[in-house]
């Protein structure tokens, strides 16, 4: 009861703050939500892997970068739009994820966590260096008219394309929820994530399920790579910062809490956008992220001690 009341108060406070910001500087809210959508759509697949396979994939951003490069060259060769390319890219990166899992990650599942971290970190470096050697560090971008689509409200003009990331994040979060609770494969994945030994006893192929989840996560990252290309320029190092942000968002949301990633991303996107609205505070926009994670983790550990 107390928990419900606290949640209601928090939601009411959040809404009141949103209304105030909307009147003060509406773009803070608009761009904050758009940025939150981007963060969430990239972080959710990492949350899936961490929640079920229990691996921190430090090559997460690099996989997205590789998908963006694959989309770029496919679009250049065929004249296809990156939006259309999102589905085939997802299929290809999903398959790539399956192969990577079978060849590398599967062998490190029972190894100490540090080994797993080093493995995925190494994979990330190998991917970015390979792209660097093959295609140089020069940036590439596909220029698309619809990316500059805007809405005018009085004096205010703002871009609307980035709302697509909000839609994708919501689709990912609730699509995964449906997958995990309504399908046999999803229920098996959930069971493996909660108790792999118990799942194996009841006849679930744990390794296969891990592989499936990893491939699914990479397919989602692959689709995001294609969408990311619509908005951003790509280069070998473009994915790295998103690995760190995704990991922090997953940590703030709590391991396995995929809808929570939406909330954490919203908090981060709005906080960054709010700080950027003040010229002297812009430099703090990056730090707010780490402050957030420290506060949440400290809060959790204090709560855990009390209980």
Residues in contact with another protein by CB under 8 A are 27, 31, 35, 132-133, 136-141, 143, 145, 147-150, 152, 157-161, 231-233, 235, 237-238, 240-242, 273, 276-277, 279, 282-283, 285-286
Question: Least CB distance from residue 40 to another protein, whole Å?
Answer: 15
How many CB atoms neighbour CB 296 within 10 A? Answer: 17
Instruction: For residue 12, count other CB atoms closer than 10 A to its CB.
Output: 10
Taking the mean position of all CA atoms in its chain, how far away is CA 291? 19
Cα–Cα distance for residue pair 65/103, rounded to 1 Å: 20
User: Which CB, 133 or 302, lies closer to another protein?
Assistant: 133
Least distance in angstroms from the C-beta of 66 to another protein: 17
* Residue 151: strand pairing partners: 158
C-beta closer to another protein: residue 31 or 247: 31
Smallest gap from Cβ 193 to another protein, in A, equals 30
CB 265 within 8 A of CB 168: no
Closer to another protein by Cβ: residue 114 or 134? 134
Burial 171-196 (b: 16+ CB within 10 A, else e): ebbeebeebbeeeeebebbbbbbeeb
CB of 155 to another protein, least distance (A): 10
- Taking the least distance from each CB to another protein, the nearer of 279 and 305 is 279
Which segments of the chain are extended strands (E)? 150-153, 156-159
Sign, Cα dihedral of 162, 166, 169, 171: negative
159 or 260: CB nearest another protein: 159
| Residue pair 101/218 in contact by the 8 Å Cβ criterion | no
Residue recorded with tokens 């994670």 = 293
State the nearest-atom distance from the C-beta of 10 to another protein, in Å. 26
**Inter-residue contact 151 to 157 (CB < 8 Å):** yes
| Complex with another protein: residue 109 or 147, whichever CB lies closer | 147
Smallest gap from Cβ 73 to another protein, in A, equals 12
């Amino acid at each position: 009861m107390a928990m419900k009341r606290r949640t209601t108060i928090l939601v009411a406070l959040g809404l009141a703050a949103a209304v105030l910001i909307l009147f003060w500087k509406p773009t803070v809210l608009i761009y904050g939500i758009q940025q939150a959508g981007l963060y969430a759509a990239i972080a959710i697949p990492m949350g899936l892997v961490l929640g079920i396979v229990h691996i921190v994939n430090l090559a997460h951003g690099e996989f997205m970068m590789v998908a963006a490069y694959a989309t770029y060259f496919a679009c250049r060769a065929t004249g296809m739009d990156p939006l259309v390319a999102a589905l085939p890219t997802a299929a290809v990166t999903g398959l790539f994820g399956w192969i990577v899992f079978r060849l590398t990650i599967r062998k490190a599942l029972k190894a100490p966590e540090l080994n797993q971290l080093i493995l995925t970190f190494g994979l990330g470096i190998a991917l970015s260096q390979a792209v660097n050697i093959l295609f140089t560090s020069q940036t590439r971008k596909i220029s698309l008219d619809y990316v500059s689509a805007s809405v005018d409200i009085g004096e205010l003009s703002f871009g609307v394309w980035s709302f697509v990331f909000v839609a994708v994040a919501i689709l990912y979060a609730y699509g995964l929820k449906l997958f995990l609770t309504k399908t046999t494969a999803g229920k098996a994945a959930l069971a493996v994530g909660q108790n792999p030994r118990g799942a194996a006893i009841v006849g679930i192929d744990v390794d296969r399920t891990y592989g499936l989840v990893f491939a699914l996560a990479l397919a989602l990252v692959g689709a995001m790579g294609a969408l990311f290309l619509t908005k951003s320029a790509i280069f070998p190092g473009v994915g790295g910062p998103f690995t760190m942000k995704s990991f922090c968002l997953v940590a703030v949301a709590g391991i396995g809490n995929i809808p929570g990633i939406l909330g954490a991303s919203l908090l981060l996107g709005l906080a960054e956008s709010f700080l950027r609205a003040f010229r002297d505070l812009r430099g703090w926009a990056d730090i707010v992220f780490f402050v957030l994670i420290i506060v949440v983790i400290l809060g959790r550990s204090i709560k855990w001690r009390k209980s």
